[in-house]
Amino acid sequence: MYCPFCRHPDSRVIDSRTAEDGAAIRRRRSCPACGRRFTTQETVILMVAKRSGVTEPFNRDKIIRGVQRACQGRPVTEDQLAILAQRVEDAIRSRGSGEVPSHEVGLAILGPLRELDEVAYLRFASVYRGFESLADFEEEIAGLRRERARDRGWVAGDTEGSRPAPGTGASPPPPAEQPPPAAKELPDNREPADRERAGTR
């Protein structure tokens, strides 16, 4: 590697140590020509295997570009996108494999994107998972609502009256498939019980 100061084509390693929890090696180098010192870093290049069989280096900018399209017109900042791409990379690298299939990269985007913006998430998921009908959207939205109900109401215990309180801890919480407390969203002329009876399945 060339000396970054004088372009001398050789350098001497004077120290070498692992960094980033063993995911990288840093070398302190000295230039024999100008005597200045600099540091280099060596990491595994994470490769993404595309469906065609071609592999290419993982590229955070590519993640950002892919998500940006789904975020058009949404209140999502460049910084948030950069953090999302970082999270995706961290998640993939933490699996300890030097190569991942491209669809796993897509999967790793879904979670952080859902936390960031639900509309952008739906757009991205609709393309990525190949939604073909309104029913696909409805199913995904129902899933988002369930997540929300789980995140808010249940844990915080602030859903009053819409279902029995969990008690003193003796009774287990209801199954996750149960619809969220959605009484307010029902038409006025229908009782929650009617809707449940008329519901799918």
Binding site for Zn ion (CB under 5 A): 3, 5-6, 8, 31, 33-34
Per this entry, what is the length of the chain?
A: 201
Least separation in angstroms between CB 17 and Zn ion: 22
7 or 150: CB nearest Zn ion: 7
3 or 149: CB nearest Zn ion: 3
Least separation in angstroms between CB 116 and Zn ion: 45
11 or 105: CB nearest Zn ion: 11
Phi, psi of 69 (to 5 degrees): -60, -40
Least separation in angstroms between CB 108 and Zn ion: 41
Least separation in angstroms between CB 28 and Zn ion: 14
Is residue 69 within 8 A of residue 51, CB to CB? The reply is: no
Who's near 127: CB < 8 A, 6+ residues apart?
Answer: 70
6 or 47: CB nearest Zn ion: 6
5 or 23: CB nearest Zn ion: 5
Who's near 41: CB < 8 A, 6+ residues apart?
Answer: 19, 24, 25, 26, 27
Least separation in angstroms between CB 29 and Zn ion: 10
Least separation in angstroms between CB 25 and Zn ion: 22
First and final C-alpha spacing in the chain: 66
11 or 85: CB nearest Zn ion: 11
Who's near 181: CB < 8 A, 6+ residues apart?
Answer: 149, 153, 159, 162, 163
Give the Cα separation of 12 and 122 in Å (integer). Answer: 53
Strand partners, 19: 24
Question: Which candidate, 58, 62, 30, places its Cα nearest to that of 44?
Answer: 58
